[in-house]
Amino acid sequence: MLLSLPAVAGAQTPNPPAAIVEAAADCWEATGATSVDLAKLAAKGWKPAEFKDKDGKALPTPLRFFGKADSSVMVMVLPSGDKPACSVTSRVGSVADYKPLMDGLQTRLKGLEPALKTGRGGTKGAAFVGGGKIALIEPTGTETEPAARFVVGMSASEKK
């Protein structure tokens, strides 16, 4: 299922950087050492969703999907286990939106985690480490349908 994320993002309508930043911050806040707090996501307005096959039957997956009525940003959660994680995928309006998205995300996460450390992640992404968490945001999609993917989980040193 994770391999189809770029295709999923391609089917979305674009979202402004601020909406993607807030979704990523919601994931950051909900992610803990042993689970992702689904109640925290619900409190931020995220509603459960599911992927269905062509016959309308729910596809079985360990992932949980969330969305908001006024947005096409998608939140995906691996709620518990050895590696709980929260992920955001979204189309962006244009390649030019990547810079305000990256800048806004760094500012927002520093507000949540003042000791946040940032650095390059991959060739065009950014990594964030703080509070026992590690996150990565990467541009995805295409030149004509740009998208972004954010993933947060606990750093290996915090899972001892």
User: Is residue 20 within 8 Å of residue 28, measured between CB atoms?
Assistant: no
Query: What is the model's pLDDT at position 33?
Result: 87
Query: What is the model's pLDDT at position 11?
Result: 58
User: Domain-by-domain residue ranges, the chain?
Assistant: 2-50+60-159
Query: What is the model's pLDDT at position 101?
Result: 95
d(CA 65, CA 75): 6
Q: What are the CA-CA distances from residue 35 to residues 60, 81, 151 (Å)?
A: 20, 7, 14
Query: What is the model's pLDDT at position 156?
Result: 73
In the numeric block, the tokens 């619900």 are attached to 42
Query: What is the model's pLDDT at position 6?
Result: 38
User: How many Cα atoms sit within 13 Å of 26 on the Cβ side?
Assistant: 26
Cα distance from N-terminal residue to C-terminal residue, the chain: 28
For 13, phi then psi, to 5°, come to: -85, 150
Query: What is the model's pLDDT at position 2?
Result: 32
Mean pLDDT by 10 residues, the chain (160 residues): 38 88 97 92 92 82 87 89 89 93 95 93 85 93 93 73
d(CA 130, CA 115): 6
